[in-house]
Amino acid sequence: MDAAPAIVLRDVFVSRRAAGPVLRGLSLDIAAGETLALVGRSGAGKSTLLKLINGLLLPEQGSVRVEGRETREWNPFTLRRRIGYVLQEIGLFPHLDVARNVGLVPGLLGWDTARVAKRIDEVLTLVGLAPRDYARRAVQELSGGQRQRVGVARALAADPPFLLMDEPFGALDPVTRAELHREFRRIQSELRKTVVIVTHDMAEAFALGTRVGVLHAGIIAEIDEPRRLARSSDPRVRPLLEPLLEARDVLS
């Protein structure tokens, strides 16, 4: 028998008051250990979905369950400690060096100093930043790609089972993005976290997701493995595929 999904959304409705509905009866199962990439146009509800999972937003109708429990039943702080969050803006604290940024959450959780220090070294190494070279650097000294790596390290520092990523590589140049895509796949192959990543870029979704879901008009229009989704004839999906298909035609 298959294991129960790690995250379940059922018939979820969310609106922006006067702006109208954002999610319209959305249902979605996310398996433990998978990387689900969600793609859609601006305003499709991608970031809203992440906020629902993280308990930052509660559904007006329907339910969101994490590890079998509705998010409204969780202590919000306990829930968020089980979820790492990576943002495009990263949100590193400029007055703290790299090590203190990375060790912030474990410190808040009451880990002892030696355990925090060990974990900082582990996650910096994991994301390809040698601790001896980067731990004491000011964040202003880092490149955009290095800051993004620190953001991933910080999200992983307390070893949460879930990782939410909101346009995490969107502000980077194409070469750096490709490098971080490779690093992400390597890290995920080792850790097997349950990851939900949202992006407007179908190429990025295909590069990172074990499944890719297309959000359209407040629902999941289609969801499948990248190779199968690439063959979709759904008119809600095809416009997002066209840049990939055009690139393939140019290279063929």
- Asked if residue 5 has pLDDT above 60, the reply is yes
pLDDT at 3: 72
CB 222, CB 232: distance < 8 Å: yes
- pTM of the prediction? 0.90
Residue 2 pLDDT: 58
Query: Which string of DSSP letters, residue by residue, matches 53-87?
Result: HTTSS--SEEEEEETTEEGGGS-HHHHHHTEEEEE
> Mean pLDDT for the chain?
91
Question: What are 16-55's pLDDT values in tens digits?
Answer: 877 678 999 999 999 999 999 999 988 888 999 999 999 9
Q: Which of residues 251 and 220 earns the better pLDDT score?
A: 220
Long-range residue pairs from 21-25, CB within 8 A, at least 24 positions apart, any chain: 21/218, 22/48, 22/218, 23/48, 23/49, 23/52, 23/59, 23/218, 23/219, 24/217, 24/218, 24/219, 25/61, 25/62, 25/218, 25/219
47-94, pLDDT tens digit by residue? 999 999 999 999 999 999 999 999 999 999 999 999 999 887 678 899
Domain ranges of the chain: 33-44+76-251
Superfamily of domain 33-44+76-251: P-loop containing nucleotide triphosphate hydrolases (3.40.50.300)
Is the pLDDT at 168 greater than 70, yes or no?
yes
